C-alpha cells in the first residue's frame, strides 16, 4: 500500500470532552490531509474543567488494537499520547521496537493535562524514560512535562534550552520543548537535534481555548512525517496549524476550551514564524 496519504497510527487515551486525546488526534490528522487510525490506551471522564476519572485499557487489548491496524491498514508514522501506566508503556515500546523498517515515531509525553490534572502514574515515568523515549524520532514535552522528565525547574528560555539538550542526551533523535508555559509576549518552541537547536517563535495568543494543544501539535507533526516532510518542516506546519486553531476556537465550555481543528493554514503564517539557529 502506498504511503502518500499519510497514515498515522495514534496510540493514546480518549477525551470525552472531544478537545484532546484521540478525538483531537483524529481531527488534526484528517485536517492536514492524513488518515488516522487508533489504539486506545485509556478512557477518561473529562471536560474543559478537568479530569474526573480514568479507566486504563488492558495492555493485551491495546496490543490487539495495534495488531489489527498494522496487519491490514498499516502506518507511515506512529504517535503516542496518554500512556497511563508502566504495563501500557512496555507494550507500546515492545511494538515500536519490533517495527521493521522503523517508522517515524512522535512521542507526546502526556503526564499533565492543561487543567493541571496528573494523567500518568509515578511508576510509569521510569518506564517512559528508559524504554520508550530512546525509540522516539521526536518527543514534544511542554514545560511541566520537561520538568517532570528531568526533575528540575525550567523558568526561562535559557533553562528551556538546557532542558532540550538534557532530554536529547537521554536518547531521542530530536526534542521539541514547547515554551507556552513561560511568560512573555512571544512563545518560543525549541527544536533540538544532533545538528543544533532551532528556536521557532510566534506571538502569544491570549486565549483560554488551549485544551488539547499538545495532542494537536504532536499529531500534526506526525502527519507531516507520515506525508514525507522533513522534521523541521513538519514542526513549522504543526505550529502554524495550532496557532490558527487557537485563533478560531469556538469558545466552548467553562474552562480550558477546545481548539478549532477544522481550520486551514495560511502559508504566510508558516513563513512568518521567526526562527534562529543556535549552535549545538
Choosing from 88, 201, 210, 223, the catalytic residue is: 210
CATH number at residue 186: 3.40.1190.20
Q: Known catalytic residue: 212?
A: yes
Residue 214 within any structural domain of the chain: yes
**Grid cell digits, residue 98:** 519490533
Q: How many C-beta atoms surround the C-beta of residue 182 within 10 A?
A: 18
Residue 231 within any structural domain of the chain: yes
Q: Known catalytic residue: 230?
A: no
Q: Is the pLDDT of residue 280 over 60?
A: no
Instruction: Check whether the bond before 101 is cis (ω within 30° of 0).
Output: yes
**The pLDDT of residue 94:** 97
User: Which range of residues forms the domain containing residue 240?
Assistant: 7-278
pLDDT, tens digit (0-9, with 9 covering 90-100), for 151-165: 999 999 999 999 999
pTM of the model: 0.92
CA distance 106 to 244: 21
Choosing from 6, 21, 212, 257, the catalytic residue is: 212
Residue 188 within any structural domain of the chain: yes
Residue 186 within any structural domain of the chain: yes
Total number of domains in the chain: 1
Q: Is the pLDDT of residue 116 over 80?
A: no
Residue 70 sits at the vertex; the CA angle it makes with 67 and 76, to the nearest 5 degrees, is: 145
pLDDT, tens digit (0-9, with 9 covering 90-100), for 44-95: 999 999 889 999 999 999 999 999 999 999 999 999 999 999 999 999 999 9
Q: Known catalytic residue: 129?
A: no
**The pLDDT of residue 59:** 97
Higher-pLDDT residue of 209, 92: 92
pLDDT, tens digit (0-9, with 9 covering 90-100), for 223-255: 999 999 999 999 999 999 999 999 999 999 999
Residue 57 within any structural domain of the chain: yes
**The pLDDT of residue 277:** 45
Instruction: Assign 273 a pLDDT band (cuts: 50, 70, 90).
Output: low
Residue 1 within any structural domain of the chain: no
Residue 2 within any structural domain of the chain: no
Q: Known catalytic residue: 179?
A: no
Residue 180 within any structural domain of the chain: yes
Amino acid at each position: 500500500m502506498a504511503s502518500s496519504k499519510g497514515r498515522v497510527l495514534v496510540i493514546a487515551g480518549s477525551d470525552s470532552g472531544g478537545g484532546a486525546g484521540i478525538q483531537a488526534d483524529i481531527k488534526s490528522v484528517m485536517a492536514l490531509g492524513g488518515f488516522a487510525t487508533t489504539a486506545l490506551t485509556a478512557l477518561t471522564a473529562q471536560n474543559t474543567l478537568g479530569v474526573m476519572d480514568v479507566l486504563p485499557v488492558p495492555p493485551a487489548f491495546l496490543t490487539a488494537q495495534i495488531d489489527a491496524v498494522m496487519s491490514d491498514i498499516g502506518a507511515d508514522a506512529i504517535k503516542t499520547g496518554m500512556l497511563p501506566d508502566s504495563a501500557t508503556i512496555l507494550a507500546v515500546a515492545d511494538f515500536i521496537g519490533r517495527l521493521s523498517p522503523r517508522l517515524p515515531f512522535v512521542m507526546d509525553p502526556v503526564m499533565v493535562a492543561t487543567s493541571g490534572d496528573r494523567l500518568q502514574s509515578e511508576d510509569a515515568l521510569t518506564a517512559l524514560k528508559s524504554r520508550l523515549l530512546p525509540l522516539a524520532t521526536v518527543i514534544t514535552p511542554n514545560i511541566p512535562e520537561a520538568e517532570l522528565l528531568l526533575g528540575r525547574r525550567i523558568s526561562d528560555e535559557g533553562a528551556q534550552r538546557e532542558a532540550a539538550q538534557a532530554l536529547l542526551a537521554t536518547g531521542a533523535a530530536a526534542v521539541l520543548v514547547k515554551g507556552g508555559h513561560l511568560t512573555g509576549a512571544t512563545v518560543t518552541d525549541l527544536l533540538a537535534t544532533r545538528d543544533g537547536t532551532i528556536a521557532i517563535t510566534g506571538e502569544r495568543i491570549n486565549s483560554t481555548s488551549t485544551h488539547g494543544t499538545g495532542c494537536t501539535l504532536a499529531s500534526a507533526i506526525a502527519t507531516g512525517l507520515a506525508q514525507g516532510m522533513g522534521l523541521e518542516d513538519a514542526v513549522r506546519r504543526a505550529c502554524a496549524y495550532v496557532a490558527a486553531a487557537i485563533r478560531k476556537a469556538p469558545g466552548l465550555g467553562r474552562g480550558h476550551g477546545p481548539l478549532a481543528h477544522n481550520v486551514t493554514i495560511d502559508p504566510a503564517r508558516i513563513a512568518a514564524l521567526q526562527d534562529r539557529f543556535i549552535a549545538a
